[in-house]
Homo-oligomer: A and B are copies of this chain.
């Protein structure tokens, strides 16, 4: 069995020796370098663009302005995964500071930069709007002519008003999360080459097939004529999902007749995509015994200048309002709103990460008001098998009591209060739960090629982001096809030759593509047994395929190696494909398709030390409990969960994009603070719950992350008795909150 083994990453040696073949490394002969001129204004009409001086800079081969975009035959300039609202270059106006206005391709980066300096753009500034509340006011500046509201999702269940009146305790709070960025170590990279009526595009993308479809549509090409090639990505985290600059770089290649490469600077990463900040008002009503009766949530997502996945992100806001709890009466309003800020898209546990901050902080707030232990409150109200999911769907195989128990026991087991902590330091503990969906319905196809020597090529379009996808899929293929792991290679995406996959995101790959690999292996094995049956002159039903060998059941000495079968049949190879459709069971009440094929769920527990003099917060330990179904590679599951914890730590304590006058003020890693290894809690515990009998894989790439900020916030509240409502929880906010409580005490 390869599944369940702690196999090292197949590219481990490359990773530690700096030899991974990232998209960033792609160079083609004769390649030009692209640079983008970006708008300094958050909102302005573009009165004039003159690139004539830029085009004369020696070394400059092509300059693309809106004139090229509008004049290119058959080109549709707008893209977007759900709403095609994003122009490849600003056309009539710019909608955020940082929006690309002109693109240059030159023999070297210096020439391209010099050309950018010589582009003349005349802007007529327009009134801008940066906050969703303001954007929804009547008379607010319109980011798009059709209005600033992208999506408004209402979910109603039961009778909220009556239930809240019947409640013994009602509690209302308001929470916010800031803008954050994905900060992949490798930035966005696109290398495009137009040739022979085809576009070949190397891109650091998590969605090669979706991007192919969009580029094909924009350029009026059949999908067969657009080739997206992906190599290993230096991280993605949702920021590399869906189309970005692929069409623009393709246009530069079309115009220049040369391959063109665009690599983002770190600053440009901050100006390209961010996570939606939210403001959320949440009200709960409960019986005195702690039974949750009703929840009302009002969530505002600031989507920035273009919609990206916002029409879908509201769903995460809606179910996140209920979180992991049975909520018989529910009243949810979620809105995603355009503003003149950097467009926001998916980021690890998209949409749900933000709302969980409010949801799980609020659980503790309510428990406190009830005078109840937060753990007890949670155990009383968590969803159980057979419950309906908040936005539809049947909940099954839920493990919250087990996960919470693991986390609590792990926290208990540790040292209570390190001796080194000073006299002003208070220690506290906090917990949080998380629930999230995975993209449903979606599709993954795998093709397996069993070679003449019995070795196996696995053809998939799953993207290796450093998460170990290739290793996991090889392990699945090894067992499904019964081929030794060392004789398996897993492809990287190439839409010309590797089969369809929806995306590498939403923690769907090991589950969905794993199933596709299994189906493809079944098809290959069927063909293999048919060929062997002829060769061994027995019925295929009497044969088994094990460890690279086909043999007669009950007479294992009568058999042939896989390679022998292929060679004897002169088949060259055996090729089989499998397609897996991710679908959800219908909701037991409505009969409508559920929101997700299954529900990723986790618990987190934090122990923190807060210095009441300085406000300094130290996370002493973090324990995460994640339901994994069946683990393909326990080490990787643990590492993914540790990664989620470290990510959550940054969100909890330091990460925040600051805007000044509508412009990002800290687009760099000196002013935007991600956790370093020094910030990682000395004790990070990971506990994976498995169900080996059921055996269904649950992705774990992001499940623990939404628990981290609220568990830390709850631990801080436990330590110092005050609650912080706005992420990140900085020492300043702690001190201010302590001060405010002091004031309050004094007042009393």
Contacts and interface: CB of A to CB of B under 8 A. Distances in A.
A495 B497 CA distance: 11
Contact of A499 (B486, B488, B575): B575
Contact of A500 (B19, B196, B224, B573): B573
A452 B29 contact: no
A444 B572 contact: yes
Contacts of A216: 453
Given A455-B222, A572-B445, A577-B575, A496 B491 contact: yes
A459 interface: yes
B29 A223 contact: no
Interface in A199-221: 209, 213, 216
B196 A10 contact: yes
Contact of A449 (B10, B457, B499): B499
Contact of A579 (B27, B227, B571, B581): B571
A11 B196 CA distance: 6
Contact of A571 (B443, B486, B498): B443
A568 B502 CA distance: 15
Q: How many copies does the complex hold?
A: 2
A442 B452 CA distance: 13
Interface in A423-457: 441-445, 447, 449, 451-457
Nearest to A450: B224
Interface string A163-203: 00000000000000000000000000000000111100000
Nearest to A25: B29
Contact of A497 (B14, B442, B497, B570): B497
A685 interface: no
A441 B449 CA distance: 21
A225 interface: yes
A601 B92 CA distance: 66
Q: Which of A213, A225, A442 has the most CB of B within 10 A?
A: A225
Contacts of A441: 570
Given A14-B196, A222-B455, A224-B455, A575 B447 contact: yes
Given A195-B19, A579-B572, A496 B27 contact: no
Given A491-B496, A496-B489, A501-B572, A225 B452 contact: no
Contacts of A701: none
B225 A455 contact: yes
A455 B489 CA distance: 28
A224 B10 CA distance: 13
Contacts of A222: 451, 453-455, 486-487
Given A496-B457, A498-B497, A452 B223 contact: yes
A360 interface: no
A216 B488 CA distance: 13
B196 A575 contact: no
State which size class the interface on A falls in. 35 or more
A183 to B, nearest CB: 25
A55 B500 CA distance: 48
A115 to B, nearest CB: 25
B570 A581 contact: yes
A439 to B, nearest CB: 12
Interface in A624-652: none
A197 B227 CA distance: 27
A195 B10 CA distance: 11
Contacts of A575: 445, 447, 499, 577, 579
A105 to B, nearest CB: 17
Contacts of A500: 449, 451-452, 571-573
Contacts of A447: 447, 575, 577
Contacts of A486: 222
Nearest to A573: B500
A328 to B, nearest CB: 34
A213 B452 contact: yes
A740 interface: no
Contacts of A225: 455, 487, 489
A573 B213 CA distance: 12
A607 B546 CA distance: 66
Interface string A661-691: 0000000000000000000000000000000
B489 A198 contact: yes
A197 B486 CA distance: 10
Contacts of A442: 570
Nearest to A451: B223
Interface string A92-111: 00000000000000000000
A733 to B, nearest CB: 46
Contacts of A227: 489
A576 interface: yes
Interface of A: 10-11, 13-14, 19, 21, 25, 27-29, 195-198, 209, 213, 216, 222-225, 227, 441-445, 447, 449, 451-457, 459, 486-489, 491, 494-502, 570-573, 575-577, 579, 581
Given A225-B489, A575-B577, 17 more contacts: A13-B197, A19-B195, A223-B451, A224-B489, A443-B572, A445-B573, A445-B575, A447-B447, A447-B577, A449-B500, A494-B497, A497-B498, A499-B573, A502-B572, A570-B581, A571-B581, A576-B577
Sorted nearest first, the 9 A-B pairs with minimum C-beta distance are A500-B572, A222-B455, A224-B455, A497-B497, A443-B572, A500-B573, A575-B577, A222-B487, A224-B489
8 contacts: A216-B453, A224-B451, A224-B456, A442-B570, A443-B571, A451-B500, A457-B496, A499-B572
